[in-house]
Structure 1
């Protein structure tokens, strides 16, 4: 397995959403043309460009700050990369029946955001220096499985 092999990835955002606003404006333009009412060329073109511009900024930020990638050597969460060799343990999932929070739930989230991004779920990690951090993903179960397997492979490779 090479370092370029991707074991898990979430893009954070997709560029296709930039087209949704202009497509809606085009549909309104066609509707105005078909119904014979006055066609608002400039307003629809302006709104289309404005919407696409704002959404493009959001997609750029999402791709930079909310994307996740796991390779056999590193875990990248947003802008922060963590070597897998520095991960001692992937901690168990939160017990939904318990009223008490797990210690890792208040740990620092990886990346430069202040916490786990919206619509993502944290995964507790114990690092080699005994500190706790949170990795995160939308599909947290798939990331947990891939991360657990990658950390185990690294431990077995270090022993052998």
Structure 2
């Protein structure tokens, strides 16, 4: 049995390097990468927006705090009086009971005064009116309605009160105010006569375009 002849004729003109290159696989194409975004230029100092200047409210014309902190002292005074009586008496001092009553009285007084000073305070300046936690500029007021000196009920007396309370607070009286959008509301205060006078004068000054006291047009 004869072995197959694997010999092949060799081309003398063939280059052996060409055969090696032909046998090598072609390189795979590299995946395309997206170009990185260029960083945005930083804004220059001159491009920053100018800060909005605060509103000049002018002088405070009328102020009612709504509640006084001296009310908080009522609890400690009462507890001190009871404690003095128990010490002077023949019996023992009831420290747990006195401590509980002190916490209740002082805590209740603090909550009451804080709520009154937050929701029942009035502050009128030359440019704004604050009732409770709501502040409106005097430029939003179109008219201060006259007081009701007659027996007939006026429409503004049934209007809602300025602020977060549903009606005029107790021991306060209302003043009819018509806003620029036509809505009628009630401004309110305890000393309503002085409040009406100050509010009317401040509103007239705003309508005339007068600047707050102590500030001229050149300053603005």
State the TM-score, normalizing by the size of structure 2: 0.67
Match of 1:131 in 2: 183
Whose strand fraction is larger, Structure 1's or Structure 2's?
1
- Picking from 101, 105, 110, the partner of 2:162 is 110
Match of 1:141 in 2: 193
Cα deviation code 1:78-124 (max 9, x no counterpart): 011111001111111122x41x2111001110011110011110111
For the aligned residue pairs, the C-alpha RMSD in angstroms reads 1.4
Gaps of 5+ in 1: none
Q: CA deviation at 1:3?
A: 1.7
Whose helix fraction is larger, Structure 1's or Structure 2's?
1
Between the aligned partners of 1:40 and 1:144, the Cα distance in structure 2 is 52
> Do residues 150 (structure 1) and 202 (structure 2) align?
yes
Q: CA deviation at 1:126?
A: 1.2
Q: CA deviation at 1:36?
A: 3.1
Match of 1:16 in 2: 70
What secondary structure, in the 3-state scheme, does the structure 2 residue paired with 1:22 have?
Answer: helix
- Picking from 74, 90, 94, the partner of 1:40 is 94
Between the aligned partners of 1:134 and 1:36, the Cα distance in structure 2 is 59
Q: CA deviation at 1:4?
A: 4.8
Between the aligned partners of 1:155 and 1:29, the Cα distance in structure 2 is 60
* Runs of 4+ that moved beyond 4 A: none
State the TM-score, normalizing by the size of structure 1: 0.91
What secondary structure, in the 3-state scheme, does the structure 2 residue paired with 1:75 have?
Answer: strand
Q: Quick check: 1:22–1:49 contact (8 Å CA) kept in 2?
A: no
Q: CA deviation at 1:34?
A: 1.9
**May I ask how many residue pairs the two structures share in their alignment?**
155
Gaps of 5+ in 2: 1-55, 211-220
The answer to which of 13-22 and 144-153 deviates more is 13-22
- Picking from 80, 88, 92, the partner of 1:26 is 80
Instruction: Pick 1 or 2: higher relative contact order, CA cutoff 8 A, min separation 6.
Output: 1
What secondary structure, in the 3-state scheme, does the structure 2 residue paired with 1:109 have?
Answer: coil
